[in-house]
Structure 1
């Protein structure tokens, strides 16, 4: 790491990036809105999204319908009730592993324990207060958590070996208690986001009297009060949120956290492939970034950090990210008032904000981040 001294664009929201500040940011790849209130006696559907599986082919369809049924306050926790199942027009004969390929686990909202075999990638998002209430795990220390500690269903518990098209299978996850004055939240459920979901009191009933996978209409899983009471420090599962916006007509996105703001500049605009020399197009982007930096009430040193995708060798990516950070910092310093303090660093491929399994995800990961400490 090195140190050096030295009319705003309009904004529009992205289709969405919301994430935990302590982990990778999350791309909203399928925003779902709340549906109308259910009639008396019907199964409540508070939000719904069709998730496209990566296993789809011209001959087969393996798309999944994910539904939110309730967010309920119970003793010591908030329960999220949801379901997932193949759409009625999906091809019969697919297994439960293939069903999960529509869940979108590029990043997780359970950063204290990442486990690809869980059916509980769930978080309640209080966006106005900037907090994410993530899936609870029983146990003492985060480093000692195991998959069985998740207060949620495993895929093998929630899904049959061969899920049937048109059948939806129920899951639940417990998150920390949501404050009493919060009556509407956003959700992340199985890799997808839902907005304007009401928070209600009491567990959903009736409880399904079965150990087999529960289909929608049979009832609801019983709340595991013993596991909830065994959670050590539920507050450690409440994380700060990061929100992103893009500046209209530019390659800059703005990320806001509880104690700082960051600007992400697309490396694809700033640099040619595998290069650290700024392109002619970079001038406009860095000038706009400098205007925002100068207008911010920065408290501390400005940091400029380079990031790459996972293509190529790790050592090469680390070096490239460091050189790119230096190039941006030098150009930025020339546009800021004398005495501005800037540090530079490179993270290589180690801090992705999207999946490196897709071209779009890699493009998001190729960036240079300008962090403005203390800026609101």
Structure 2
């Protein structure tokens, strides 16, 4: 076991899989000699060579098309999109080719590729470096979507994604890349800090996709979240002193419906928290799922706490984020309803 932050855990996952499987190839913009803009691939090119860790042109559609071809050929490519905001030029390749390949070919071909992309805010990146587009990908049949919240999960989930025979979009919340986060920061974490967030096994392990984690047991209300917002929810619950059950979804698609239904059936109340904008965010799907499966158990309306339906603000991003104060108000309204 080693103390790692999320950057180090992701690097360890890639290193572990490249040691185990010669078919794993890592590529993207600046991932080679430079080691990635966030240093997640640091040292890998030196260790495994230019033929397995290499830089690509600034062409997201080209990166994705290349990854699909590699997957069909028999490799397991891990393609990095430098920021999730720039994934849209690659969207057609993901949706029209990668997601449909197994079905179009009657199972003859598949695309075992993993797309890594730093997402969300926290670095004052403004509208072009801070978006959370996860709900767009959960709408696409044939894609799997993962958002880890801590280093241990990041490594285990990334290993599972690389081993999966279908395409996986792996969003990495950059706000918690570098170190501890207690949900109360009013400024970005120090860039390139090397503070551990938790103990992570140095060797191989995997966390199955589609299995949520109950990070805080409780009996009065269920809180559903993922990524950075898990830490915000934990801070809010602790500050308010509420007996809430906090669930880290980890995998948005496939979704762990059983854990959600069991929790809400027990508590009778539920709120959903995510950083992305409210309208058509993944929280809307969660509300629908809870209502469909737990209607007769609910004692209050389900609430959403989300980012605002506005263009992402540059200087005011910390006002945009859902913080503990907003989460506490939603908890209190739901408990009093």
Same fold (TM over 0.5): no
TM-score scaled by structure 2?
Answer: 0.30
Higher share of residues assigned helix: 2
Return the structure number with greater relative CO, CA threshold 8 A, min gap 6: 1
TM-score scaled by structure 1?
Answer: 0.28
